[in-house]
Protein backbone atom coordinates (compact mmCIF):
# COMPACT_ATOMS: atom_id res chain seq x y z
CA UNK A 1 0.00 0.00 0.00
CA UNK A 2 2.87 2.38 0.84
CA UNK A 3 4.56 1.60 -2.49
CA UNK A 4 1.35 2.42 -4.33
CA UNK A 5 0.86 5.72 -2.47
CA UNK A 6 4.42 6.83 -3.17
CA UNK A 7 4.11 6.14 -6.88
CA UNK A 8 0.71 7.87 -7.15
CA UNK A 9 2.22 10.93 -5.44
CA UNK A 10 5.11 10.95 -7.91
CA UNK A 11 2.74 10.94 -10.89
CA UNK A 12 0.85 13.89 -9.37
CA UNK A 13 4.07 15.88 -8.94
CA UNK A 14 5.14 15.21 -12.51
CA UNK A 15 1.79 16.36 -13.86
CA UNK A 16 2.18 19.69 -12.05
CA UNK A 17 5.60 20.46 -13.51
CA UNK A 18 4.79 19.41 -17.07
CA UNK A 19 5.24 22.10 -19.75
CA UNK A 20 2.21 23.90 -21.18
CA UNK A 21 1.55 24.40 -24.89
CA UNK A 22 -1.51 25.23 -26.95
CA UNK A 23 -3.18 22.82 -29.35
CA UNK A 24 -2.31 23.67 -32.94
CA UNK A 25 -5.42 22.48 -34.79
CA UNK A 26 -8.85 22.22 -33.23
CA UNK A 27 -12.20 20.76 -34.34
CA UNK A 28 -14.81 23.39 -35.15
CA UNK A 29 -18.10 22.39 -33.53
CA UNK A 30 -21.10 24.43 -34.60
CA UNK A 31 -23.68 24.10 -31.81
CA UNK A 32 -22.36 22.41 -28.65
CA UNK A 33 -21.88 24.62 -25.61
CA UNK A 34 -19.82 21.94 -23.88
CA UNK A 35 -17.83 19.21 -25.60
CA UNK A 36 -14.91 16.81 -25.23
CA UNK A 37 -12.91 14.19 -27.09
CA UNK A 38 -11.29 11.53 -24.88
CA UNK A 39 -9.13 8.60 -25.95
CA UNK A 40 -9.43 4.97 -24.90
CA UNK A 41 -7.03 5.50 -22.00
CA UNK A 42 -9.16 8.30 -20.57
CA UNK A 43 -6.86 11.16 -21.66
CA UNK A 44 -8.39 14.33 -23.08
CA UNK A 45 -7.58 15.05 -26.73
CA UNK A 46 -9.67 18.22 -26.99
CA UNK A 47 -12.28 19.99 -24.89
CA UNK A 48 -14.65 22.93 -24.89
CA UNK A 49 -15.97 24.13 -21.53
CA UNK A 50 -15.81 20.49 -20.45
CA UNK A 51 -16.67 21.19 -16.78
CA UNK A 52 -19.76 23.25 -17.51
CA UNK A 53 -22.62 21.70 -15.54
CA UNK A 54 -25.89 21.00 -17.32
CA UNK A 55 -28.68 18.45 -17.33
CA UNK A 56 -27.43 15.32 -19.14
CA UNK A 57 -31.03 14.27 -19.89
CA UNK A 58 -31.27 10.65 -21.07
CA UNK A 59 -27.49 10.12 -21.09
CA UNK A 60 -28.33 9.46 -17.42
CA UNK A 61 -29.58 6.04 -18.48
CA UNK A 62 -26.01 4.78 -18.93
CA UNK A 63 -25.47 5.20 -15.18
CA UNK A 64 -28.85 3.58 -14.52
CA UNK A 65 -27.74 0.54 -16.50
CA UNK A 66 -24.40 0.27 -14.69
CA UNK A 67 -25.99 0.45 -11.26
CA UNK A 68 -28.62 -2.12 -12.22
CA UNK A 69 -25.93 -4.51 -13.45
CA UNK A 70 -23.82 -3.89 -10.33
CA UNK A 71 -26.74 -4.98 -8.15
CA UNK A 72 -26.41 -8.63 -9.14
CA UNK A 73 -30.09 -8.76 -10.09
CA UNK A 74 -30.26 -11.46 -12.80
CA UNK A 75 -30.81 -10.16 -16.31
CA UNK A 76 -33.52 -12.72 -16.98
CA UNK A 77 -35.27 -12.32 -13.64
CA UNK A 78 -38.78 -10.86 -13.82
CA UNK A 79 -39.70 -7.43 -12.49
CA UNK A 80 -43.34 -6.66 -11.71
CA UNK A 81 -44.04 -3.13 -12.87
CA UNK A 82 -45.50 -0.45 -10.63
CA UNK A 83 -47.64 2.56 -11.44
CA UNK A 84 -45.78 5.68 -12.61
CA UNK A 85 -46.80 8.95 -14.27
CA UNK A 86 -43.85 10.83 -15.81
CA UNK A 87 -45.93 13.42 -17.66
CA UNK A 88 -47.21 13.86 -21.20
CA UNK A 89 -43.83 14.96 -22.61
CA UNK A 90 -41.97 11.91 -21.34
CA UNK A 91 -40.87 9.24 -23.81
CA UNK A 92 -42.38 6.04 -22.45
CA UNK A 93 -42.86 2.48 -23.63
CA UNK A 94 -46.20 2.14 -21.86
CA UNK A 95 -45.51 -0.11 -18.86
CA UNK A 96 -48.40 -0.18 -16.38
CA UNK A 97 -48.78 -1.63 -12.91
CA UNK A 98 -48.81 -5.41 -12.98
CA UNK A 99 -46.92 -5.81 -16.26
CA UNK A 100 -44.06 -8.32 -16.18
CA UNK A 101 -40.70 -7.65 -17.78
CA UNK A 102 -37.19 -9.00 -17.36
CA UNK A 103 -34.35 -6.71 -16.38
CA UNK A 104 -32.80 -7.49 -19.77
CA UNK A 105 -35.91 -6.24 -21.60
CA UNK A 106 -36.14 -3.10 -19.49
CA UNK A 107 -32.46 -2.24 -19.98
CA UNK A 108 -32.71 -2.71 -23.74
CA UNK A 109 -35.79 -0.49 -23.94
CA UNK A 110 -34.07 2.14 -21.78
CA UNK A 111 -30.74 2.17 -23.63
CA UNK A 112 -31.96 1.72 -27.20
CA UNK A 113 -35.27 3.59 -27.29
CA UNK A 114 -34.64 5.75 -24.19
CA UNK A 115 -37.91 4.95 -22.42
CA UNK A 116 -38.13 6.78 -19.12
CA UNK A 117 -40.71 4.42 -17.63
CA UNK A 118 -38.36 1.48 -18.23
CA UNK A 119 -35.76 3.19 -16.03
CA UNK A 120 -38.29 3.77 -13.27
CA UNK A 121 -39.30 0.10 -13.29
CA UNK A 122 -35.61 -0.88 -13.15
CA UNK A 123 -34.99 1.37 -10.16
CA UNK A 124 -37.97 0.09 -8.18
CA UNK A 125 -37.39 -3.52 -9.11
CA UNK A 126 -33.69 -3.51 -8.23
CA UNK A 127 -33.53 -1.17 -5.22
CA UNK A 128 -37.13 -1.03 -3.97
CA UNK A 129 -37.59 2.65 -4.78
CA UNK A 130 -36.26 5.31 -7.11
CA UNK A 131 -34.78 7.22 -4.15
CA UNK A 132 -32.73 4.25 -3.00
CA UNK A 133 -31.58 3.57 -6.56
CA UNK A 134 -30.54 7.19 -7.16
CA UNK A 135 -28.41 7.07 -4.01
CA UNK A 136 -26.53 4.17 -5.59
CA UNK A 137 -26.14 6.18 -8.81
CA UNK A 138 -24.55 9.09 -6.98
CA UNK A 139 -22.23 6.77 -5.06
CA UNK A 140 -21.16 5.17 -8.34
CA UNK A 141 -20.53 8.56 -9.91
CA UNK A 142 -18.27 9.57 -7.04
CA UNK A 143 -16.33 6.32 -7.27
CA UNK A 144 -15.65 7.05 -10.95
CA UNK A 145 -14.34 10.54 -10.23
CA UNK A 146 -17.38 12.30 -11.68
CA UNK A 147 -16.86 15.38 -9.49
CA UNK A 148 -19.28 17.64 -11.37
CA UNK A 149 -22.20 15.22 -11.40
CA UNK A 150 -25.28 14.74 -9.25
CA UNK A 151 -28.32 12.63 -10.10
CA UNK A 152 -31.83 13.38 -8.89
CA UNK A 153 -33.67 10.68 -10.84
CA UNK A 154 -32.94 7.50 -12.79
CA UNK A 155 -34.01 8.66 -16.28
CA UNK A 156 -32.80 12.23 -16.78
CA UNK A 157 -36.22 13.84 -17.10
CA UNK A 158 -35.72 17.24 -15.45
CA UNK A 159 -34.59 17.96 -11.90
CA UNK A 160 -32.90 21.15 -10.60
CA UNK A 161 -30.16 19.13 -8.90
CA UNK A 162 -29.70 16.75 -11.81
CA UNK A 163 -26.52 17.74 -13.62
CA UNK A 164 -23.25 16.58 -15.12
CA UNK A 165 -20.60 17.86 -17.53
CA UNK A 166 -18.86 16.73 -20.72
CA UNK A 167 -15.76 15.49 -18.90
CA UNK A 168 -17.72 13.40 -16.40
CA UNK A 169 -19.99 11.90 -19.06
CA UNK A 170 -17.00 10.88 -21.18
CA UNK A 171 -15.49 9.16 -18.14
CA UNK A 172 -18.79 7.38 -17.55
CA UNK A 173 -19.13 6.27 -21.17
CA UNK A 174 -15.58 4.95 -21.31
CA UNK A 175 -16.06 3.02 -18.08
CA UNK A 176 -19.39 1.59 -19.21
CA UNK A 177 -18.12 0.25 -22.53
CA UNK A 178 -14.89 -1.08 -21.02
CA UNK A 179 -16.46 -2.88 -18.05
CA UNK A 180 -20.03 -3.85 -18.99
CA UNK A 181 -20.25 -6.11 -22.06
CA UNK A 182 -24.06 -6.04 -21.90
CA UNK A 183 -24.09 -2.23 -22.19
CA UNK A 184 -21.50 -2.26 -24.99
CA UNK A 185 -23.56 -4.77 -26.96
CA UNK A 186 -26.91 -3.08 -26.31
CA UNK A 187 -25.96 0.51 -27.23
CA UNK A 188 -24.68 -0.78 -30.58
CA UNK A 189 -28.10 -2.18 -31.53
CA UNK A 190 -30.06 -0.32 -34.20
CA UNK A 191 -33.43 -1.81 -33.20
CA UNK A 192 -35.03 -4.23 -30.75
CA UNK A 193 -38.28 -6.18 -30.58
CA UNK A 194 -39.88 -6.48 -27.16
CA UNK A 195 -43.21 -6.93 -25.40
CA UNK A 196 -44.83 -4.32 -23.18
CA UNK A 197 -47.75 -6.02 -21.55
CA UNK A 198 -49.34 -8.02 -24.36
CA UNK A 199 -48.20 -5.65 -27.11
CA UNK A 200 -45.17 -6.43 -29.27
CA UNK A 201 -43.09 -3.34 -30.06
CA UNK A 202 -40.40 -2.82 -32.70
CA UNK A 203 -38.21 0.03 -31.45
CA UNK A 204 -35.37 1.86 -33.23
CA UNK A 205 -32.35 3.40 -31.56
CA UNK A 206 -32.58 7.10 -30.80
CA UNK A 207 -29.14 7.67 -32.36
CA UNK A 208 -30.18 6.27 -35.75
CA UNK A 209 -29.17 9.48 -37.64
CA UNK A 210 -25.51 8.73 -36.86
CA UNK A 211 -25.65 4.93 -36.78
CA UNK A 212 -24.06 4.78 -40.25
CA UNK A 213 -20.88 6.48 -39.00
CA UNK A 214 -17.90 4.19 -39.68
CA UNK A 215 -16.74 2.50 -36.48
CA UNK A 216 -19.55 3.86 -34.29
CA UNK A 217 -19.96 1.94 -31.01
CA UNK A 218 -22.92 3.88 -29.56
CA UNK A 219 -23.80 5.08 -26.99
CA UNK A 220 -26.60 7.46 -25.73
CA UNK A 221 -28.67 10.46 -26.74
CA UNK A 222 -30.17 13.08 -24.46
CA UNK A 223 -32.75 15.79 -25.08
CA UNK A 224 -34.69 18.28 -22.97
CA UNK A 225 -36.89 21.16 -24.13
CA UNK A 226 -35.07 23.76 -22.03
CA UNK A 227 -31.53 22.35 -22.11
CA UNK A 228 -31.07 21.38 -25.74
CA UNK A 229 -29.93 18.08 -27.18
CA UNK A 230 -26.82 16.07 -26.33
CA UNK A 231 -24.97 12.92 -27.34
CA UNK A 232 -22.40 10.71 -25.67
CA UNK A 233 -20.67 8.85 -28.47
CA UNK A 234 -17.91 6.31 -29.02
CA UNK A 235 -16.20 5.06 -32.15
CA UNK A 236 -13.16 2.99 -33.08
CA UNK A 237 -11.03 2.78 -36.20
CA UNK A 238 -7.66 1.10 -36.77
CA UNK A 239 -7.18 0.45 -33.06
CA UNK A 240 -7.92 4.05 -32.04
CA UNK A 241 -10.98 4.42 -29.80
CA UNK A 242 -12.43 7.82 -28.99
CA UNK A 243 -15.25 9.00 -26.76
CA UNK A 244 -17.08 12.23 -27.53
CA UNK A 245 -19.64 14.31 -25.70
CA UNK A 246 -21.58 17.28 -27.05
CA UNK A 247 -24.00 19.09 -24.76
CA UNK A 248 -26.78 21.66 -25.11
CA UNK A 249 -27.06 21.74 -28.89
CA UNK A 250 -30.01 23.96 -29.94
CA UNK A 251 -31.22 21.42 -32.53
CA UNK A 252 -31.70 17.66 -32.48
CA UNK A 253 -29.56 17.16 -35.58
CA UNK A 254 -26.85 19.46 -34.22
CA UNK A 255 -25.73 16.90 -31.65
CA UNK A 256 -25.02 14.39 -34.41
CA UNK A 257 -23.41 16.95 -36.72
CA UNK A 258 -21.04 18.07 -33.96
CA UNK A 259 -20.29 14.48 -33.01
CA UNK A 260 -19.26 13.74 -36.60
CA UNK A 261 -17.03 16.81 -36.56
CA UNK A 262 -15.30 15.66 -33.37
CA UNK A 263 -14.87 12.06 -34.49
CA UNK A 264 -13.66 13.08 -37.97
CA UNK A 265 -11.09 15.37 -36.37
CA UNK A 266 -9.89 12.66 -34.00
CA UNK A 267 -9.46 9.99 -36.67
CA UNK A 268 -7.74 12.44 -39.04
CA UNK A 269 -5.33 13.90 -36.49
CA UNK A 270 -4.71 11.28 -33.79
CA UNK A 271 -2.78 8.01 -33.71
CA UNK A 272 -1.96 5.44 -31.05
CA UNK A 273 1.62 5.10 -29.77
CA UNK A 274 3.07 2.48 -27.43
CA UNK A 275 5.07 4.18 -24.65
CA UNK A 276 6.39 1.27 -22.60
CA UNK A 277 5.73 -2.37 -21.79
CA UNK A 278 4.92 -3.88 -18.39
CA UNK A 279 8.14 -5.35 -17.01
CA UNK A 280 10.31 -3.37 -19.44
CA UNK A 281 13.80 -2.85 -18.04
CA UNK A 282 14.62 0.80 -17.36
CA UNK A 283 18.02 0.52 -15.68
CA UNK A 284 20.15 -1.49 -13.27
CA UNK A 285 20.45 0.44 -10.02
CA UNK A 286 23.19 -0.10 -7.39
CA UNK A 287 21.95 -2.17 -4.44
CA UNK A 288 22.15 -0.27 -1.16
CA UNK A 289 23.54 -3.12 0.96
CA UNK A 290 26.11 -4.82 -1.27
CA UNK A 291 28.32 -3.04 -3.84
CA UNK A 292 28.59 -6.24 -5.88
CA UNK A 293 24.85 -6.30 -6.57
CA UNK A 294 22.41 -4.29 -8.66
CA UNK A 295 18.62 -4.24 -8.76
CA UNK A 296 16.68 -4.25 -12.03
CA UNK A 297 14.27 -1.32 -12.30
CA UNK A 298 11.23 -2.03 -14.46
CA UNK A 299 7.94 -0.41 -15.43
CA UNK A 300 5.00 -1.76 -13.43
CA UNK A 301 2.37 -1.00 -16.08
CA UNK A 302 2.32 -0.91 -19.85
CA UNK A 303 1.54 2.54 -21.19
CA UNK A 304 -0.15 3.45 -24.44
CA UNK A 305 -1.31 6.84 -25.54
CA UNK A 306 -2.51 8.97 -28.42
CA UNK A 307 -0.41 11.47 -30.35
CA UNK A 308 -2.19 14.50 -31.83
CA UNK A 309 -0.86 15.75 -35.17
CA UNK A 310 0.55 19.26 -35.11
CA UNK A 311 0.81 19.45 -31.32
CA UNK A 312 4.56 18.98 -31.12
CA UNK A 313 6.85 16.28 -29.81
CA UNK A 314 5.90 13.58 -27.33
CA UNK A 315 8.25 14.18 -24.42
CA UNK A 316 8.88 12.33 -21.19
CA UNK A 317 9.65 13.49 -17.69
CA UNK A 318 10.84 11.24 -14.89
CA UNK A 319 11.42 11.48 -11.19
CA UNK A 320 12.62 9.17 -8.44
CA UNK A 321 10.91 8.23 -5.22
CA UNK A 322 14.10 8.92 -3.27
CA UNK A 323 17.04 11.25 -3.72
CA UNK A 324 19.34 8.38 -2.77
CA UNK A 325 21.29 6.86 -5.66
CA UNK A 326 21.33 3.43 -4.00
CA UNK A 327 18.15 1.37 -3.89
CA UNK A 328 16.58 -1.33 -1.77
CA UNK A 329 14.92 -4.39 -3.26
CA UNK A 330 11.22 -4.39 -4.15
CA UNK A 331 10.83 -0.66 -3.52
CA UNK A 332 9.16 2.25 -5.28
CA UNK A 333 11.69 3.73 -7.67
CA UNK A 334 9.94 6.46 -9.62
CA UNK A 335 7.51 7.41 -12.34
CA UNK A 336 7.47 8.63 -15.92
CA UNK A 337 4.94 10.90 -17.61
CA UNK A 338 4.74 11.21 -21.38
CA UNK A 339 3.38 14.57 -22.49
CA UNK A 340 2.46 16.32 -25.69
CA UNK A 341 2.38 19.95 -24.80
CA UNK A 342 0.02 20.37 -21.86
CA UNK A 343 -1.76 17.10 -22.61
CA UNK A 344 -0.95 13.92 -20.74
CA UNK A 345 -0.32 11.08 -23.20
CA UNK A 346 0.40 8.30 -20.70
CA UNK A 347 2.13 7.38 -17.47
CA UNK A 348 3.80 4.46 -15.76
CA UNK A 349 5.47 3.85 -12.41
CA UNK A 350 8.69 1.98 -11.72
CA UNK A 351 9.95 -0.27 -8.95
CA UNK A 352 13.17 -2.09 -8.17
CA UNK A 353 13.34 -5.87 -8.19
CA UNK A 354 15.44 -8.44 -6.33
CA UNK A 355 19.22 -7.86 -6.39
CA UNK A 356 21.48 -9.76 -8.82
CA UNK A 357 25.23 -9.80 -9.41
CA UNK A 358 26.48 -6.69 -11.21
CA UNK A 359 27.24 -7.42 -14.89
CA UNK A 360 30.78 -6.75 -16.03
CA UNK A 361 29.60 -4.00 -18.35
CA UNK A 362 26.46 -2.08 -17.41
CA UNK A 363 25.36 1.49 -17.74
CA UNK A 364 23.42 2.33 -14.56
CA UNK A 365 22.22 5.64 -15.98
CA UNK A 366 19.76 4.60 -18.66
CA UNK A 367 17.05 6.88 -17.31
CA UNK A 368 17.27 10.65 -16.60
CA UNK A 369 16.97 11.51 -12.93
CA UNK A 370 14.63 14.01 -11.23
CA UNK A 371 13.92 17.14 -13.21
CA UNK A 372 15.19 15.74 -16.51
CA UNK A 373 13.39 14.48 -19.55
CA UNK A 374 13.55 14.25 -23.31
CA UNK A 375 11.75 13.42 -26.51
CA UNK A 376 10.26 9.99 -26.86
CA UNK A 377 12.69 7.76 -28.73
CA UNK A 378 14.69 10.78 -29.78
CA UNK A 379 12.31 11.39 -32.69
CA UNK A 380 10.42 14.67 -33.29
CA UNK A 381 6.93 13.09 -33.28
CA UNK A 382 5.69 16.22 -34.97
pLDDT tens, position by position, 195-218 = 999 999 999 999 999 999 999 999
Please report the DSSP string for 132-182 in residue order.
HHHHHHHHHHHHTT-TT-B-SSSS----TT-BB-HHHHHHHHHHHHHH-HH
**Cβ neighbours of residue 36 closer than 8 Å, sequence gap 6 or more:** 44, 46, 47, 48, 50, 166, 167, 170, 243, 244, 245
Q: Work out the percent of the chain whose per-residue pLDDT is above 70.
A: 87
Q: Mean of the pLDDT values across residues 371-375?
A: 54
Q: Mean of the pLDDT values across residues 298-323?
A: 90
> What pTM was computed for the model?
0.83
192 CB burial (10 A radius; 0-12, 13-18, 19+): middle
For residue 38, which of 345, 376, 348, 349 has the smallest C-alpha distance?
345
What would the pLDDT profile of 67-90 be if each residue is shown by its tens digit?
Answer: 999 999 999 999 999 999 898 889
Q: Mean of the pLDDT values across residues 216-240?
A: 92
Q: Mean pLDDT of all residues in the chain?
A: 89
pLDDT at 77: 97
pLDDT at 5: 60
pLDDT at 371: 42
**Which residues of the chain form beta strands (DSSP E)?**
34-39, 44-48, 78-80, 100-102, 191-196, 199-204, 216-224, 228-237, 240-249, 270-276, 281-286, 293-299, 303-308, 314-320, 332-340, 343-352, 356-357, 373-375
Amino acid sequence: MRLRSILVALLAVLALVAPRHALAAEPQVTEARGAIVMDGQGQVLWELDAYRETNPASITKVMTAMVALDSGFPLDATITCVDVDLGDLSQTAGYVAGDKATLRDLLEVALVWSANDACYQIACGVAGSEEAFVALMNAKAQSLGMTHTHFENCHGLGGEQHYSCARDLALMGRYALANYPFIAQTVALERITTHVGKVELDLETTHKPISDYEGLLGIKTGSLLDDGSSFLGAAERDGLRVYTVVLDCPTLDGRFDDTRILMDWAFANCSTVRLCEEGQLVRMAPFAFDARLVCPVTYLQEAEGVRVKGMGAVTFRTTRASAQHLVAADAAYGATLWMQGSRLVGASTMASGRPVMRPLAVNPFLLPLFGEGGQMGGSPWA
